[in-house]
Amino acid sequence: MALLDKFDAARRTRDTLAALPLNPTDVVIEEVLSATEAMIQGRRTIMAGTNNYLGLTFDTGAIAAGQAALAASGTGTTGSRMANGTYRDHLLLEREIAAFFDLPYAMVFSTGYSANLGSLAALLAPGDAVLLDSEAHASLFDGCRLSGADIFRFKHNDADSLASRLRRLGERASSALIVAEGLYSIRGDCAPLREFAAVKREFGAILFVDEAHSLGLYGDHGRGLVEQEGVAEDVDFIVGTFSKSLGSIGGFCVSAREELPLFRYASRPYIFTASPCPSVIATTRVALEQLRTRPELRKTVWDNAHRLYAALAELGLELGPDVSPVIGISLREREVAFACWQALFNAGVYTNLILPPAAPDGGSLIRCSVTAAHTRAQIDQIAAAFAQVCRDIGVGRHAAA
């Protein structure tokens, strides 16, 4: 095969999407009006797929802090911390994240993707064994693959499958790394972290949990599913992102393990990536404080999640097993998913269209994410749009017998 022949499949996908009335991969947000609305094709649209869980993207304190940092320190750092130096606020954010998790060590990365890539590339090396949930995010898989470690996938959220894989590793199990997420971002289901922690203890392995989508949503302090499930002492490394609940961009790793500060000398994605710009650090610090001091945001997002989940379940749609701010609606045929996504958009609701390979089990999904900024009226408008689509297209309770 010639070098560029591999793009034939991508070209076919592009052409299929381009033939639709609106290409879901090429939507232009013409103007952002608020944390929940935007102008798309000249029309006011409810954003029901943003991951902006706590609704902090328009927080006035965060915006003011970002503007002040821009004026004081400029637009960017123009290099990595290893080469160009660490800004004081990088250290302050790391200390604040460590304190938030009540852990001694924290490390900030430029994106959530690079937090996973960089942490796993530092932890793993050729000859190491890593056990990876079969529905883990691409960044987790890529980090494992970058390291050159031996990758063993276990069945999604299946502790027995994990234990079976470890058992077959024999003596290698005691030095293996287990990788899972807290809240999965496609179907909105949660990892059985207590069961995973028990397996980890049985075999003496290391447990690594990605709380990208669960940060700010779970636990008494909003630390994530690790906190809610009471397994903090069993989890060796927690990674997360600033681009969901904190409404910014960047990522982090926290740990009680004294090896974490050594990632700086072993993680190529950290060493060779420009550090986060001052305005991003400033907005993230304010958002973290909002997460810490405003538990009412967490209550509101959960109220909205339960309200929309119940409404969609009443329509007979196939939803994920857990109520969460991520609501995945399974639609087996790709053409039905296209039609539903387009009809929802026509009704003034923007959602996420998820196709293979991102969609599990080879199907297709419509994905919603609700936020603390959505009003009850907006949640009801989203539900009403789904109800109309179910009637018009014949899905859910209106599907042909």
149 by DSSP, 3-state: which? coil
CB contact set of 256 (below 8 Å; sequence gap of 6+)? 103, 104, 105, 236
340 token code pair: 């539903």
CATH architecture of 59-293: 3-Layer(aba) Sandwich (3.40)
Q: Which pLDDT score, from 0 to 100, does residue 400 have?
A: 67
Which residue type sits at 173? A
Inter-residue contact 73 to 282 (CB < 8 Å)? no
Residue 356 has pLDDT above 80, yes or no: no
Whats the size of the chain, residue-wise?
401
246 token code pair: 């904190």
Any idea what the Cα angle at residue 284 is, between residues 350 and 213, rounded to 5°? 50
21 by DSSP, 3-state: which? coil
Q: Which residue has the tokens 């927080």?
A: 59
Q: Which pLDDT score, from 0 to 100, does residue 401 have?
A: 53
- What are the tens digits of pLDDT across the range 116-152? 999 999 999 999 999 999 999 999 999 999 999 999 9
- Work out the burial of residue 257: count CB atoms within 10 Å of its CB; fewer than 13 is exposed, 13-18 middle, 19 or more buried: middle
| 166 closest CA partner among 218, 116, 205 | 205
The band of 359, judged by pLDDT with boundaries at 50, 70 and 90, is: confident
Cis peptide before 357 (omega within 30 of 0): yes
Which residue type sits at 18? A
The verdict on pTM exceeding 0.85 is: yes
Residue 115 CB coordination number (10 Å): 28
- The number of angstroms, rounded, from the C-alpha of 250 to the middle of its chain's C-alpha atoms is 12
**How far is 348 from 46, CA to CA, in rounded Å?**
6
Residue 18 has pLDDT above 90, yes or no: no
- Work out the burial of residue 293: count CB atoms within 10 Å of its CB; fewer than 13 is exposed, 13-18 middle, 19 or more buried: exposed
**How far is 322 from 168, CA to CA, in rounded Å?**
31
Where in the chain are the domains?
18-47+295-398, 59-293
**How far is 306 from 303, CA to CA, in rounded Å?**
5
Residue 363 has pLDDT above 60, yes or no: yes
Q: Which pLDDT score, from 0 to 100, does residue 62 have?
A: 98
Superfamily of domain 18-47+295-398: Aspartate Aminotransferase, domain 1 (3.90.1150.10)
Q: Which helix (H) or strand (E) holds 330?
A: strand 326-331
Lowest mean pLDDT among 17-31, 198-212, 261-275: 17-31
- What are the tens digits of pLDDT across the range 70-91? 999 999 999 999 999 999 999 9
Any idea what the Cα angle at residue 238 is, between residues 237 and 241, rounded to 5°? 145
353 token code pair: 């269209």
- What are the tens digits of pLDDT across the range 270-287? 999 999 999 999 999 999
